[in-house]
Structure 1
Amino acid sequence: MHIVDVCGFYTPHGGGVRTYVEQKLAIGPQLGQEITILAPGARHEVIERGPGARIVYVPCPKFPLDRKYHYFDDTDQVHDALDALAPDFVEVSSPWHSAAMVAKWDGAAPRSMVMHADPMSAYAYRWLAPPFRRETIDRHFYQFWDHMRAMGEVYDRVVCASHELGERLRRGGVANVEINPMGIEAHRFSPSKRDPELRAELLRECRLPPDAHLLLGVGRLSAEKRWPMVVDAVHSAGQRFPLGLVLFGQGKEKRTIQQRIGGNPHIRVFGPETSREKFPRIVASADALIHGCEAETFCMAAAEARASGTPSIVPDLGGAADHARNGAGLRYKAGSAASAADAITQMFSQPFPAFTAKSRTMEEHFADLFASYAAVGGTAIPLETIKVAATRL
């Protein structure tokens, strides 16, 4: 089956969508699929990633709010590209403009929309709740819900990686919702990678002795991640027992987070850990992972923590909440520093019970995804036909 992913917010410079795309390009051909990523770029370009995997860029303007990205602005251009590629199945990676473009394409191939974003949680709910209830906010954002219901009627699958988002879309009247959790890179994370010396080193960075508790934060330093709220929770819980937090990430909110940390020497912010060998050791060596964002569509950091045997302290909404299931962590009231501080205290008031250190893999995610696509009518097409079509774009 030839799957074309119309990926409106792909950039080679990083981000969660790029990580997902790279894994799809690697795993898809291993599972017998042909994968083409159709992405907006600076110029027309076809980048082969091996047999049955490629990225096809079409020239598009830069996105004004983030110059690392380009965006589709011409419906006919997208339709012409799909006609030339002749996919068996079309996937869209954004619920916005590109989804509407592909919905209007008159090709016969079935199609899916993968929810890589939860815009209501990332923006409307975060900005307006409280004081307003989510039901009230939904009524005022009826245009979003009208759009999603319309997309649900056109798309054969609306794929969600978290139960909370999928169930919320279903309650909102969106058809064809399918919950398919993503996963982590197989065999990379494990409790066996716990390193007492590395843990002691990280606590020294926080000016704490080895018998203190060590929290780990991982993610972009952006407003929706709520790191200042996490800092407040750690400030509060740290009044009760020795507690350090090491936060790994980068982003525009770094100065705001540093200001919230103030003079607390027990909270440290580092850039992303790029060593593939060291990062799993850091995750396994923490006493718990803490996360603040209720708008995650999956939450890779919490999935990697679970596979490492590290419990998670996560909000009770969004994709992060799934990873505290079955005794693998604690949930607190989303957006509440006081509730998060109580969860930290509960986590460290006594030894946390052992849990199964296993997370779903991306191979399992894609196997289920492709089986679902095949069930709605995907057929095979020769690879040489795809390559010839791509060169004509």
Structure 2
Amino acid sequence: MRIVDVNEFYSPTGGGVRTYLDRKMGIMADLGHELIVIAPGFEDGVEDRPGGGRIFWVKAPRLPFDRSYGLYWQDAPIVRLLDQLDPDVVETSSPWRPAWTVGAWQGRALKIFFAHNDNMAAYAGRWLEGVADLPTVERWLAFYTRYMGRFLRHFDAFVTNGPALAKRHERRGLHVDAAMPLGIDRGFFSPDLRDESLRVALLGQCGLPADGKLLLGVGRHHPEKRWPTVIDAVECAGERMPIGLMLLGYGVDHQKLAARVAESPHIRLFRPVYDRLRFARIMASADALIHGSDAEPFGLVALEAVASGLPLIVPNEGGAAEIAEPPFAETYAPRDARSCAAAIARLFAREPRVLRAASLAAADKVRTDQDHAVALIDYYSGLIAGKAARRAAGGA
């Protein structure tokens, strides 16, 4: 099977979407399939991936606020490539021009709109949160849902990257054909990487002794991640117990966060750790992962933490909430620092051996990225067979 992904979020310089798709290309090749990405680049060009797959770069204007990313302005280059590549399946995840370009393309391929993000929750819901709750904002912005409905009519299926995003779209009135949860590369993450001496050293960097509790937060320094809520909660909980917080990340809010924690004795900001093995060791050596975002549709970081044997402290809405099960997690009301602080206290009040046993049991069951790829191929194969049967019977 040849799959072509017309993707506006695949950057020449890196990022989460690129990491996901590069890994997916290799897995698809191992399974005997081919994944090709058409992405906006600085120049036209083609790249072969060593593990399998190709990137077709289409020269496109850059975003003014982040030149790592581009936006398609013309249909013709994409249509020419789709005609040339003749895929069995064509995917896109951008609700802007690619949705209409792919939807109007006249090729034989199965057309899939694969939603990986939620613009309404991540942007409008956050901008207007002081005015109204998310369901109200969704009603106010029903025109955006209607807009999506218009281009979705041209696709064979509407797929999301997990149940959280499927529930949101269905609540807004759209029909989701399948929720296909993502997975992680289990080759990096394991409870066996836990290193007590590393944990003690990290606590020391937070100004705490070995009997302190080490919380880990991972993600961009961006308003969507809600790090101020997490920081307030850790400071509140820290009034009753010794708690350190390490935040790994960087982004537009870095200076604000740095100023916010400057007087906090037990909270430290660190740049992202790109060495995967080192990152996995740090993750396995913390005492819990704490997360602030309720807008993310899928909690990849939370899944990596579970695979590392970590308990979770996450909002009770969003992608991470779908992963958090009571035996190894505590949840809290989104954007509520006091609720988050109470969740921290509840988690660390548990019997440590029971919590550790539950976390280790959960680590063995984490979905892998290969599981995701196999399920996706099976789903697409079924859709292709159904479409062929309808054509043979004289249907659409």
TM-score bracket for the superposition, by shorter chain length: over 0.9
How far, CA to CA, are the matches of 1:295 and 1:181 in structure 2? 16
Letter in 2 for 1:368: A
Runs of 4 or more above 4 Å deviation: none
Shift of 1:121: 1.4
Q: How does 1:1-393 map to 2 (within 5 A)?
A: 1-50=1-50, 52-325=52-325, 327-352=327-352, 353=355, 354-355=357-358, 356=361, 357-358=363-364, 359-377=366-384
Q: Secondary structure at the match of 2:274?
A: coil
8 A contact 2:199–2:285 mirrored in 1: yes
CA contact (8 A) 1:170 1:177 kept: no
User: How many residues are aligned here?
Assistant: 379
- Paired with 1:187 and 1:44, the residues of 2 have a C-alpha distance of 34
Identity of aligned residues (%): 42
Deviation (angstroms), 1:221 = 0.9
Partners of 1:214 and 1:243 within 8 A in 2: yes
CA contact (8 A) 1:169 1:177 kept: no
Equivalents in 2 of 1:278, 1:158: separation in Å?
37
**Mean alpha-carbon deviation: is it higher for 170-179 or for 285-294?**
170-179
Q: Counterparts of 1:378 and 1:127 in 2: how far apart (Å)?
A: 44
RMSD value, Cα: 1.7
Flag the 1:162–1:176 CA change in 2: closer, same or farther, 3 A.
Answer: closer
Whether contact under 8 Å (1:152, 1:175) holds in the other structure is no
Query: 1:24 offset after TM fit, Å?
Result: 1.3
Report the alpha carbon displacement of residue 112 of structure 1 after superposing the two structures with TM. 1.0
Q: What amino acid does structure 2 have at the position aligned with 1:38?
A: I
1:225-275: CA deviation from partner (whole Å, max 9, x where unpaired): 111111111111111110000111111111111122131120000011122
- Inter-partner Cα distance in structure 2 for 1:61 and 1:132: 35
Deviation, structure 1 residue 180: 1.1
| Unpaired runs of at least 5, structure 2 | 387-396
Partners of 2:150 and 2:192 lie apart in 1 by: 48
Higher mean C-alpha deviation, range 90-99 or range 18-27 = 90-99
Letter in 2 for 1:193: L
Contact preservation (8 Å) 1:213, 1:242: yes
Query: Any conservation in 2 of the 1:88–1:110 contact (CA below 8 Å)?
Result: yes
Q: Deviations 1:66-96 (Å, cap 9, x if unpaired)? A: 1111221102222222112111110103233
3-state SS in 2 of match to 1:58: strand
TM-score, normalising length from structure 2?
A: 0.92
CA deviations on 1:136-172 (whole Å, 9 max, x unpaired) are 2112111210122223332222222232211121222
Q: 1:325-357 CA distances to partner (integer Å, 9 max, x unpaired)?
A: 252311111111111111011111232523222
Higher relative contact order (CA 8 A, sep 6+): 1
- Give CA deviations for 1:344-376 in whole Å, capped at 9, x if unaligned: 111112325232223100000011011111111
